[in-house]
């Protein structure tokens, strides 16, 4: 089965659902679409963008991601891009890859790029225009504008080490605790979701749509 993961920035896929990707990749084809180049500002410009892409691919090798699309929209500026343009690019991927399941960023995140990714996902996965049967949003560490209330939990007790190993590929994004992009913060969230679901470690999702 084909599964599409939409990430606003390179590393969101690892933080949000790295363990689940590893688990699903054993029996499914995982395509990752990264919306932005992931670089807010850097004097090295294109060189840093290429580094982030390489980090993303190295991370993906650990998780078992099959293929990638990098749309290279400017980071933190998705609200300056036509909604139609973003939707059009995602629709091309939906038509080409024909996923049955789509994972996307959360509508609850304070980061506006994440909320725009969520909104565009809703548009391009409409039942009238796609074969997508299930849509989920994943959770990332950090602040939210409204509370993330998960409806689905994935046990990643066995896969958690791969999640951490994959995020380590994003060396420029690693931060010391208590930063939300610290390894300890990521582990703490996995433990908390594990407690809620009766597992050692888990990732949490919100089911947006399911067609049975």
**What is the domain-level CATH number for residue 40?**
3.40.50.10320
Do 35 and 7 touch, CB atoms closer than 8 A?
yes
Which of 87, 120, 84 is closest to 104 using CA atoms?
120
Tens-binned pLDDT, residue by residue, of the chain (212 aa)? 999 999 999 999 999 999 999 999 999 999 999 999 877 655 455 777 888 999 999 999 999 999 999 999 998 889 999 999 999 999 999 999 999 999 999 999 999 999 999 999 999 999 998 999 999 999 999 999 999 999 999 999 999 999 999 999 999 888 999 999 999 999 999 999 999 999 999 999 999 999 99
pTM of the model: 0.95
How many domains is the chain partitioned into structurally? 1
Do 174 and 182 touch, CB atoms closer than 8 A?
yes
Residue range(s) defining the domain that contains residue 155: 2-210
- For 93, the 3-state DSSP assignment is helix
Report pLDDT for 42.
54
Q: Is the dihedral of CA 200, 203, 204, 207 positive or negative?
A: negative
Report pLDDT for 25.
98
Report pLDDT for 167.
98
Report pLDDT for 48.
78
């Amino acid at each position: 089965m084909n599964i599409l993961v939409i990430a606003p920035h390179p590393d969101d896929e690892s933080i949000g659902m790295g363990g689940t990707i590893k688990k699903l990749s054993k029996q499914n084809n995982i395509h990752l679409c990264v919306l932005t180049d992931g670089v807010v500002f850097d004097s090295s410009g294109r060189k840093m963008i290429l580094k982030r892409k390489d980090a993303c691919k190295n991370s993906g090798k650990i998780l078992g991601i099959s293929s990638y699309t990098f749309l290279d929209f400017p980071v933190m500026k998705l609200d300056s891009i036509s909604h139609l343009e973003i939707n059009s690019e995602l629709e091309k991927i939906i038509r080409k890859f024909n996923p049955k399941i789509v994972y996307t960023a959360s509508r609850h995140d304070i980061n506006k790029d994440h909320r725009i990714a969520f909104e565009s996902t809703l548009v391009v996965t409409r039942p009238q225009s796609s074969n997508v049967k299930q849509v989920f949003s994943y959770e990332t560490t950090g602040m939210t504008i409204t509370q993330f209330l998960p409806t689905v939990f994935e046990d990643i007790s066995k896969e958690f080490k791969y999640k951490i190993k994959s995020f380590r590929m994003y060396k420029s994004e690693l931060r010391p605790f208590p930063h939300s992009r610290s390894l300890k913060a990521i582990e703490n969230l996995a433990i908390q979701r594990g407690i809620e679901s009766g597992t050692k470690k888990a990732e949490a999702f919100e089911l947006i749509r399911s067609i049975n």
